[in-house]
Structure 1
Amino acid sequence: MGNLLEPPATSALARFADDTPRFILTVDTEEAFDWDKPLTRDRHDLNHVPNIARFQEFCENQGVVPIYLVDWPIANSPDAAAILREAVATGRAEVGVQLHPWVNPPFDEDVSQANSFAGNLPPALEEAKFSALVDVVERNFGTQPLIYRAGRYGIGAETAAMLARRGVAIDSSVRPMFDYSHLGGPDFRSFPTAPYWADAERSVLELPLTAAWWGMLRRQGNWLYPRLWRAPALRGVLARLGLLERVPLTPEGVSVEEAIRGIDIALDDGLPVLVFSFHSPSLMPGNTPYVRSEDDLDALYDWWRRIFAYLAHRGVQPSSVRDVMEAVVR
């Protein structure tokens, strides 16, 4: 059984002080490991970390403040701290946290599929791992992290309260239109794409990762798409026919043209904040299925370059955690 989470009430939807559409760029900044093999505590590497410097420089030249959601191996990497600490101190980058429980102490649980979703752990263990990670980030990067993402989007029922206790203002673990319950994780199909307050006190703002249904059947997407999971080829046919396509805002497996359609739909639906994401191992060829060669890496940078240009064309402003928190109405 998956992690049973309840979608928010309509009254929890967040309002912003202005009508300016914004976007944030989040980087799941993590160790490289083989996604096709079982998870382990030790079979990973950080060889791609030096490549983060090039991406940071690229973002600065584009006028974008990337948000690096660092997990335990990255948080303890001297190279990562050397690359990002000054940029964070001067506001050219932000650092948040991402919890991969299988590599984050204390190690009081078995490594398993279900336990890879932090929200499935006993709340005390989830919080112990999270607190250890926050402490390391504050020490090594010289900043208090204000944004969190559960690895594998594994948020739990107690996560928002945990974040509030450490002063983390934003969660970005919810991935609408995706269902991980067959793996033991959350089912987000009934969750909104719009920002909402994750707790009754309005101390933690949820910024869901942005995705959009595109096509003539988009209004039936949440119902129809899951029923085609045994027939992925049929999903492809529907996309090619312009009937139904799920478009997450990421360069990993999504073309520029598809992403632009997703941006247009999100803006047409009045979404105030677009949340982009990708994984830092994709900054080095061979680490992920999406970047296998130098040509693929060039294509990833070109994807961002073209998407930033299109966002500027549509009047969508680059934002940051601090900007979002200043703009939201409590």
Structure 2
Amino acid sequence: MRNLLDPPPPHAAACFADGRTRFLLTVDTEEEFDWGKPLTRESHSTRSVPRLAKFQQFCEAQGVAPVYLVDWPIASSTRAAEILREPLAAGRAEIGVQLHPWVNPPFEEEVTQANSFAGNLPAGLEASKLTRLRDAIEENFGIAPLIYRAGRYGVGPNTARALADNGIAVDSSVRPHFDYSHAHGPDFRAHPLAPYWLDDARTLLELPLTTTFWGMLRRQGEAIYPRLWRAPVLRGALAKLGLLERVPLTPEGVSVQEAIRGIDMALDDGLPVLVLSFHSPSLSPGHTPYVRDEDDLDALYDWWRRVFAYLAGRGVAASSVRDVMAAVTR
């Protein structure tokens, strides 16, 4: 089993025999907390959970099955289970695991920034937290999860083995073109955008979140962009001039126009699977920096509506974890 912190060898690339281009909508389904304050075990709520019902209805009308990556406060929420059990059972949604170690038992570690990345924990503790969460999801939602995302994208040297031991078939924690090492997290700058296998037996698939470079200098983005991490003004100037812009496929801080440019770049690069994401507390105004009021929430839904329409127009099909696993060649 490979170390998720290391870029994969070329022979690990995953292939899809049918030639279709797919997208997954992943929802980091989590508690609300103040993103600007230190993490604690207690300072959070789940007031945005009822908003999942409207979002699920919206996705069904759009022909999209969202993948809810659920952490401990949501896995233990009776209301979340009431909302999601039926669409999960009917295949109109899927469920996965998202580990926020600071709110996930067993509570053996000190709550620190470094320990908020689950991959930094001792192997046994990371695995124990993952197992407790995976079992709670299956018990409360009636479905065994097949996909995982580490909260804060915090994978480590032992994560892949823990996933395999828990029957997880897909990881989606790698975020290419991002570096979290300044906060004791992983550095994904050298990781590929395309899916790849984490083991030679091809039992654990990595589906990286999709982030592309756009602009005249995009082919040099991997060399240029990391050198500017202390210079956000210069990054902004390069984007404004159409020279270089980093575009993650998320409505959080990314305009529709930017997302469309990112989709075009991903398709130009021949990516077989596009992975889109956002955080569930954004479905309720006031819980994230991206949705402060009802106008922002309307704009969030409009972003998804327009992005889904553009993907359809480009021939990119809405997909699911089970569909991806059935289509990938082994």
TM range (shorter): over 0.9
1:167 Cα deviation (Å)? 1.3
Task: Say if 2:95 is the partner of 1:95.
Answer: yes
What is the alpha-carbon distance in structure 2 between the residues aligned to residue 231 and residue 146 of structure 1?
39
1:200 Cα deviation (Å)? 2.4
1:162 Cα deviation (Å)? 1.2
- After the TM superposition, which residues 81-230 of structure 1 pair with which residues of structure 2 at under 5 Å, given as runs? 81-230=81-230
What is the DSSP-based 3-state SS (H/G/I as helix, E as strand, rest coil) of the residue aligned with 1:177? coil
Moved more, 184-193 or 214-223: 214-223
Q: Which amino acid aligns with 2:26?
A: T
Q: Deviations over 1:257-286 (max 9, x none)?
A: 000000001011000000000000000000
In structure 2, what is the equivalent of residue 8 of structure 1?
8
1:219 Cα deviation (Å)? 1.5
What is the DSSP-based 3-state SS (H/G/I as helix, E as strand, rest coil) of the residue aligned with 2:148? strand
Q: Deviations over 1:180-235 (max 9, x none)?
A: 00000100000000000012221110000000000111112122112212211111
In structure 2, what is the equivalent of residue 59 of structure 1?
59
- 5+ long unaligned stretches in structure 2: none
Q: Is 1:72–1:99's contact at 8 Å kept on the other side of the alignment? A: yes
In structure 1, what is the equivalent of residue 76 of structure 2?
76
Q: Is 2:4–2:155's contact at 8 Å kept on the other side of the alignment? A: no
What is the alpha-carbon distance in structure 2 between the residues aligned to residue 305 and residue 47 of structure 1?
25
Q: Which amino acid aligns with 1:154?
A: G
What is the alpha-carbon distance in structure 2 between the residues aligned to residue 270 and residue 286 of structure 1?
38
What is the alpha-carbon distance in structure 2 between the residues aligned to residue 179 and residue 223 of structure 1?
13
Moved over 2 A (4+): none
What is the DSSP-based 3-state SS (H/G/I as helix, E as strand, rest coil) of the residue aligned with 1:15? coil
1:5 Cα deviation (Å)? 2.0
Q: Is 2:4–2:160's contact at 8 Å kept on the other side of the alignment? A: no
What is the alpha-carbon distance in structure 2 between the residues aligned to residue 4 and residue 256 of structure 1?
31
In structure 2, what is the equivalent of residue 292 of structure 1?
292
What is the DSSP-based 3-state SS (H/G/I as helix, E as strand, rest coil) of the residue aligned with 1:58? helix
In structure 2, what is the equivalent of residue 22 of structure 1?
22
Give me the TM-score of the superposition, normalised by structure 1.
0.98
Q: Is 2:4–2:159's contact at 8 Å kept on the other side of the alignment? A: no
Q: In percent, how many aligned pairs have the same letter?
A: 73
- 5+ long unaligned stretches in structure 1: none
What is the DSSP-based 3-state SS (H/G/I as helix, E as strand, rest coil) of the residue aligned with 1:132? helix
What is the alpha-carbon distance in structure 1 between the residues aligned to residue 220 and residue 121 of structure 2?
34
Give me the TM-score of the superposition, normalised by structure 2.
0.98
What is the alpha-carbon distance in structure 1 between the residues aligned to residue 319 and residue 20 of structure 2?
10
Q: Is 1:161–1:199's contact at 8 Å kept on the other side of the alignment? A: no
Aligned length: 328
Q: Is 1:4–1:187's contact at 8 Å kept on the other side of the alignment? A: no
In structure 2, what is the equivalent of residue 39 of structure 1?
39
Q: Is 2:99–2:150's contact at 8 Å kept on the other side of the alignment? A: yes
Moved more, 4-13 or 281-290: 4-13
Q: Is 1:27–1:68's contact at 8 Å kept on the other side of the alignment? A: yes
